[in-house]
Structure 1
Amino acid sequence: MKPYNKIKLPETREEWLENRMKGIGGSDAGAILGFNPYKSPYYLWCEKTGRIGSQPDSEAMRQGRDLEDYVARRWMEATGKKVHKSGFSYQSKEHPYMLANVDRLVVGENAGLECKTANALTRTRYDKGDIPASYYAQCMHYMAVTGMDKWYIAVLVLGKAFYFFEVERNEEEIEALIREEHRFWNYVKTDQEPPVDGTDSTSEALNQVFHPSDDAGSVIISDDLTSMLLELKSKQKELQTIQKEYENQIKDVMGDAVYAYSNHANITWKESVSKRFDTSRFKKENPDMYNRYLKKSTTRRFLIKEMKEEEE
């Protein structure tokens, strides 16, 4: 018996986005595990609970969708295998919140294919066999839902190269993934916040969720939190001073030299010419035009200052 229920694919992208909010999809797995550099578990939780909208469609996402069929055809050409679209999404019977909207299924194999498009400036060493952890987690998620034995990944690095990989089913990793997804989905069901982390994605989510007002009042913060943050800021300042000291020592040794080398690093110290728009002068000489082109933006600035003890 199949471990999943088949669900007819939505007809529009809007319906697809709405369905994604009803469970955990393959692209969510990496975020839940902390592997997605653009979306933290907290950001994803805010999306799933409706506190913020889904991240806007980027050009990279659009290109990835548009080139999906091309990537699949390139993979078939390279491997001699055949694939087809399913026409359905899949829902785990044992864990109904786990959903899978797969790119392709491989003909004659109990396997699927994930099609990816990457920027030419990617730092991932595909040529060395590296696979982004979020891609790997997505494949494990699909195998967890569908019960399939393996998943293939095809990656088109735009204007550079084409790579493909095979990911074998790993029961221990699948069980670990299911535990983490179950933990995350429990946060969603109970409307309980997951732990916040130090990523830019979480900062962005917090800025979207909370909005200050003049009559919002104040709250008491734990001394442990504030003292730890103040200590870290103090150490950061100290480390920056030490870093500058070492930089200056190297500059002193280099003198007029532009390049320097050691067993650990290549160093350059060269002149750099930059041009900047003189905003102050333009404002002074063209005040009306300056005001016409001002664009208002609102941000919340976070500041923390240590309270000095008063001298007796």
Structure 2
Amino acid sequence: MQASVLVKTKNMDRNEWLQWRKKGIGGSDAAAVAGLNPWKSPIEVYLEKIGEIPEPEDNEKMYWGRILEDIVAKEFTLRTGKKVRRRNFMLRHPKYEFMIANIDRELVGEKVGLECKTVSEYGKSEWEGDKVPDQYIIQCQHYMAVTGYEGWWIAALIGGNKFIYKYIKRDEEIIQYLIKIESDFWKMVEERTPPPLDGSKSSENILKLLYPEAAEGTEIELPEEVEELIVARENIKAQIKKLETKQLEIENKIKAMLKENEVGRTPKYIVSWKTYSRTSIDSKKLKIEQPEIYEKYLQVSTYRKFDVREVK
């Protein structure tokens, strides 16, 4: 199997590249579609593909990721002796044409690709030992599904001072799973049927973006199924409160053992109960004594508060 060329990307500007990305599911979309991207939900990908929301704006992180991609690729060659080259095309699966790939590099003389990453210091624990973050495993398996390649290297510069590289084998079971869920997802895109919302922060942010303000004084009749959702919500809230109370009980028992000590130790844990100070402005006093200054620096923001009350 060999991938077909969707479009040549050399010298293509970012806006045009983003438009071509809407024609299918790319490697960075795959983990979100599978529900394994901690920063992006399926509904966000769906809305991007149908043009309801814009693709994320270019930012410093994305800029430096592109700049450092070449450095990561060169360092991979230095450390492994494996030559790599660019593939200046957006590729697509020969059968499932909605599966597309814009790969970083491919190895010369091998049916293997290379994905280059730059990672912050905060994410280093996800790369310890043989570990690779789930979303990047899915991304590489997606690329293997599109290209037919037998493996994929992933190289990462962590925190600007630690370089690692790992090999990911082609996994037919994962690839068949991706083909199935991506096929189902693309059918939703074609039929304009949105995937269900989930509990991710991404889904919450999408709703804020789509419906930022309530039309004052408006009211609708909700379907009966909403009552089942409300009961489920109330049950969960009760469980959370019970667990929070239990958590506080445990913490109080440990605090009583610490007494006035700042730190306590066991063979496995370090426990601290330190004193901190915080400076804040007394806004009520400022409003009374310096109303002009208070008004000058007053900042008004709008938000929508979700609330549920039982009908009396």
Q: Same fold (TM over 0.5)?
A: yes
Does the CA-based 8 Å contact 1:7-1:91 persist in structure 2?
no
Residue 209 of structure 2 corresponds to which residue in structure 1? Answer: 208
Q: CA deviation at 1:263?
A: 5.8
Does the CA-based 8 Å contact 1:124-1:131 persist in structure 2?
no
Give the SS at the match of 1:128.
coil
CA distance in 1, matches of 2:261, 2:86: 60
Give the SS at the match of 2:82.
coil
Q: Does 2:262 correspond to 1:261?
A: no
CA distance in 2, matches of 1:218, 1:154: 52
Report the count of equivalent residues: 308
Residue 243 of structure 1 corresponds to which residue in structure 2? Answer: 247
Does the CA-based 8 Å contact 2:5-2:89 persist in structure 1?
no
Residue 187 of structure 2 corresponds to which residue in structure 1? Answer: 186
Residue 86 of structure 1 corresponds to which residue in structure 2? Answer: 87
1:218 pairs with one of 186, 201, 220: 220
2:280 pairs with one of 265, 276, 279: 276
CA distance in 2, matches of 1:28, 1:39: 9
Give the SS at the match of 1:232.
helix
Residue 171 of structure 2 corresponds to which residue in structure 1? Answer: 170
Task: Tell me the amino acid that sits aligned with residue 276 of structure 2.
Answer: S
CA distance in 2, matches of 1:264, 1:303: 43
Q: Does 2:19 correspond to 1:18?
A: yes
Residue 51 of structure 2 corresponds to which residue in structure 1? Answer: 50
Q: Does 2:294 correspond to 1:290?
A: yes
CA distance in 2, matches of 1:81, 1:194: 42
Let me know the Cα RMSD of the aligned residues.
1.9
CA distance in 2, matches of 1:239, 1:303: 22
Moved more, 239-248 or 161-170: 239-248
Superposed CA offset, 1:4-36 (max 9, x none): 235211610011111111110110011111111
Q: CA deviation at 1:234?
A: 1.9
Question: Percent identity, aligned pairs only?
Answer: 37
Task: Tell me the amino acid that sits aligned with residue 212 of structure 1.
Answer: A
Does the CA-based 8 Å contact 1:105-1:111 persist in structure 2?
yes
1:305 pairs with one of 300, 306, 309: 309
Compared with structure 1, are the counterparts of its residues 160 and 89 closer, same or farther at alpha carbon in structure 2 (3 Å cutoff)? same
Q: CA deviation at 1:260?
A: 2.4
Q: CA deviation at 1:212?
A: 2.2
Task: Tell me the amino acid that sits aligned with residue 227 of structure 2.
Answer: D
Give the SS at the match of 2:285.
helix
CA distance in 1, matches of 2:243, 2:179: 41
Give the SS at the match of 2:122.
coil
Superposed CA offset, 1:126-158 (max 9, x none): 241210111111111111111111111110012
CA distance in 2, matches of 1:36, 1:21: 19
CA distance in 1, matches of 2:58, 2:288: 40
CA distance in 2, matches of 1:103, 1:186: 28
Compared with structure 1, are the counterparts of its residues 123 and 198 closer, same or farther at alpha carbon in structure 2 (3 Å cutoff)? farther
Compared with structure 1, are the counterparts of its residues 153 and 256 closer, same or farther at alpha carbon in structure 2 (3 Å cutoff)? same
Compared with structure 1, are the counterparts of its residues 287 and 18 closer, same or farther at alpha carbon in structure 2 (3 Å cutoff)? farther
Q: CA deviation at 1:300?
A: 1.5
Q: Which runs of 4+ in 1 moved over 4 A?
A: none
Q: CA deviation at 1:307?
A: 4.4
Q: CA deviation at 1:240?
A: 1.7
Q: CA deviation at 1:55?
A: 2.1
CA distance in 1, matches of 2:307, 2:60: 34
Residue 62 of structure 2 corresponds to which residue in structure 1? Answer: 61
Give the SS at the match of 2:185.
helix
Moved more, 97-106 or 231-240: 231-240
Compared with structure 1, are the counterparts of its residues 263 and 25 closer, same or farther at alpha carbon in structure 2 (3 Å cutoff)? same
Moved more, 299-308 or 32-41: 299-308
CA distance in 1, matches of 2:45, 2:263: 45
Unaligned runs of 5+ in 2: none
Superposed CA offset, 1:286-309 (max 9, x none): 43343333333322111223446x
Does the CA-based 8 Å contact 2:126-2:133 persist in structure 1?
no
Superposed CA offset, 1:170-201 (max 9, x none): 11111111111111111111111212111110
Residue 71 of structure 1 corresponds to which residue in structure 2? Answer: 72
Give the SS at the match of 1:122.
helix
Residue 28 of structure 1 corresponds to which residue in structure 2? Answer: 29
Give the SS at the match of 1:165.
strand
